[in-house]
Amino acid sequence: MNTQTIIADPEIQEYYKKIIDSVSNQFNVAKDARKKGKDISAEVECLPTMDLADRTENIIGPKGVAKRYREVYTELKGDRIKTIFKLFKEIIEEKWCHIPDAQKRLEQAVKTSLVLLTEGVVVAPLDGVPSVRISKNLDGTKYVDIYFAGPIRAAGGTATVFPLILGDYAKTLLGLDRYKPTEDEVERYVEEVATYDEIVSRQYKLSAEEVRKIVRGCPVCINGEPTEDRMVTAFKDLERIPSNKVRGGMCLVISEGIGLKAMKTLSLAKSLGL
């Protein structure tokens, strides 16, 4: 980072320069120490970054996102949400990064966007969204299938549902269909959310009918990794649900995400014409 880009008095610029030089020197010492081979990894895990753009590229990628983020952010006069949506679209359409596999490209776009939204300071983009897939409905059509895990809670209410909005946007960009749940799958969601409410205290408890409405109405599959030891008592061994154990991340997204942030979710979705 060039300290001349900081709009400040020369004394302030000199102050920042000293900080940057000090960090650079300490990082070089750490690299030299790792080269001795006495640690588990030969690389220094915590890379120095100068801003959100750098942090995002170092944490999740793809290569080139830092430069492009700064360009688009300036073009859109500092509107971060619009910048994120534009970068998401560009990654999906391979405007400046080449990821041939559509599913991998979709997962990259979702995680990069979530890191940008959460400013790269929480674990949600990496551990809260373990995978994003393109799966098949029973009629053969394809849909966006997002797996959530417990750490998605750290993202906060709005950011929790952000991957769903991105998934719906990707559905349009990639020409995919919506998620079409079976009645057994819908009732499985109802049981899991109710069971999770017994395990963990919730801000807002959804009724069974509210859960049904959310699952049937969401164009993206709110899936998840099993996070609890409790198992469901009915609707077991469903083909498109990975486990009979309760999926805590999914329950969080439905209750504290969509349930509490419905209006904000609709507002963001409408801004994309969804």
Averaged over successive runs of 10 residues, the pLDDT of the chain (274 residues) comes to 64 90 92 92 85 90 95 94 96 95 97 92 84 97 96 79 94 97 97 94 87 96 94 94 94 89 79 76
User: How far is residue 143's CA from residue 135's CA, in Å, rounded to a whole number?
Assistant: 6
Note the pLDDT of residue 4: 45
* Residue 25 located in a structural domain: no
List the strands of the sheet with 142-148, edge to edge.
Answer: 131-136, 142-148, 221-224
Kindly state the tokens that stand for 237.
Answer: 């061994």
**In the prediction, which pLDDT does 169 show?**
96
What distance in Å separates the CA atoms of residue 218 and residue 235, rounded to the nearest whole number?
Answer: 20
Q: How many Cα neighbours within 13 Å face the side chain of 32?
A: 6
pLDDT, residue 158, reads 78
Domain count, the chain: 1
Residue (of 206, 271, 269, 273) closest to 250 by Cα position: 206
| Contact between residue 218 and residue 167 where contact means Cβ atoms under 8 Å apart | no
Q: Is residue 174 part of a domain?
A: yes
Q: For residue 84, is it within any domain?
A: no
Burial (0-12, 13-18, 19+ Cβ within 10 Å), 200: middle
Q: Are 150 and 160 in contact (CB under 8 A)?
A: no
In a domain, residue 50? The reply is no
Position 123 scores a pLDDT of 78
Paired strand residues for 245:
231
The helix/strand/coil state of 143 is strand
Residue 110 covered by a domain: no
| Nearest by Cα to 15 from 30, 3, 1 | 3
Does 136 fall in a domain? Answer: yes
Kindly report whether the peptide bond that precedes residue 130 is cis, defined as omega within 30 degrees of 0: no
Task: Name all contacts of 137-142 with Cβ < 8 Å and 24+ positions apart.
Answer: 137/177, 137/179, 137/180, 138/180, 138/182, 139/180, 141/176, 141/177, 141/180, 142/176, 142/177
Amino acid 6: pLDDT: 66
**Does 114 map to a domain?**
no
pLDDT at residue 3, rounded to an integer = 47
pLDDT for residue 9: 87
- 222 found inside a domain: yes
Q: Is 255 helix (H, G, I), strand (E, B) or coil?
A: helix
- Taking a C-beta distance cutoff of 8 angstroms, is the pair 253, 157 a contact? no
Domain that holds residue 240: 122-274
Res 138: pLDDT: 96
